[in-house]
Amino acid sequence: MLLSIVIPVYNSKKEYLEELLQSLEVQDLSDVEIIIVNDGSDEEHSSELQAILEKRETIVYIKKENGGVSSARNFGIQVANGNYISFADSDDIFSPDFICSSIDYIRKYKPDIIFGTMKVFPHTYYLQTTGTAEFFEKNNIDDIEQRFSCTGKYGIIGSTCSRIYKKEIVSRVKFHEDILYSEDQLFNREIIKHAERVLVVPDEWYVYRDNPCSATHSNMYNQNYYQKIKGYWRNLLNIYKTCSKATIHAYRVEALVNAGFAYKRIASSDLPFPRKIAEIKIISNDEYVKDAVCNLRISDELKSLAQKIQLILMKVNAYLPLLILYDLFIIRKRYENER
């Protein structure tokens, strides 16, 4: 078996799951294994899932207690028979040439990881695009880390979908089951450290269904947000301490961006004003954020004037002006959307 596709399912819409499976069934699956991990769905959704799978006897079906998407993926890794593993979310779909194209790349390059491109539906933009296939070996893996940072060429290292991983490496890294936010990004950043050969390809392999109601896209901030994000930030801090100076710099700029994202959530929330200031202070004093603020300079290449202003305010612990800055940012965005 060459490729295993692991699909975690939790109370998923049956229409979406049907679309996902149909997008695979029109392709050559002779050297492919599909694994569905039911991560503790309720009785109604589990019954719907079993009905979907009744006519699909070749699919490996596993039901387990609910443990979260990372737990489900790790379980799928454990039972996978393929030399390579890919992941999918139950509400997305694969492009028609995913299987053929990915297997061709595997056989030609024998990489440890392949990063493909994904289209965001119903929009028309792409995540991680490159004009031609680019190959990275151990001596320039740091280069790919810089390119995949939020300030780099590709702009995102996030999703584990539209990616292919050698099982031998995935089995050593695994997903952090205690990380509840950005677990995909953390997994990719850690697995790159173990890779000898990484391939980035222009092929559009995957269609990601954008859900504006999901937790990932919500602008709301609540008391659980920092508790969820701090584990991811702490692990990032440990990862980039071992990188080259250029990569560390890219990570620190990204920390500034991540802090700004949190500030924006706080500013747009319905928290009372004193609580907003308190939350901004908590974010600003996180070890991951403080490392970036202490080491970045105003003269460094930042994406915008707003980022430079943000860094100045963070350096002098100006929490109220930070809140005002992001209030103004939100007001401007609303004005632009209404025009």
- For residues 88 and 62, state if they share a domain: yes
- For residues 192 and 311, state if they share a domain: no
- For residues 33 and 144, state if they share a domain: yes
- Return the pLDDT at 215: 46
- Return the pLDDT at 53: 94
- For residues 190 and 111, state if they share a domain: yes
Domain finish residue from 144, 179, 209 = 209
What is the rounded distance in angstroms from the CA atom of residue 32 to the CA atom of residue 56?
14
Domain finish residue from 178, 209, 240 = 209
64-68, 85-89, 149-153: least confident range? 149-153
The reported pTM is 0.88
Place 314 in a pLDDT band, splitting at 50, 70 and 90: very high
**Residue range 307-315: mean pLDDT, rounded:** 94
Q: φ and ψ at 281, to 5 degrees?
A: -65, -40
- For residues 47 and 173, state if they share a domain: yes
- For residues 155 and 102, state if they share a domain: yes
- For residues 201 and 231, state if they share a domain: no
pLDDT, averaged across the chain: 87
What is the rounded distance in angstroms from the CA atom of residue 263 to the CA atom of residue 243?
27
Residue type, 94: F
Quote the domain boundaries for residue 162. 3-209
How many domains is the chain built from?
2
What is the rounded distance in angstroms from the CA atom of residue 12 to the CA atom of residue 15?
9
- For residues 55 and 128, state if they share a domain: yes
Domain assignment of residue 147, yes or no: yes
CATH (domain of 25): 3.90.550.10
43-47, 135-139, 280-284: least confident range? 135-139
The residue to which tokens 């149909």 are assigned? 22
- For residues 241 and 256, the model is more confident at 256
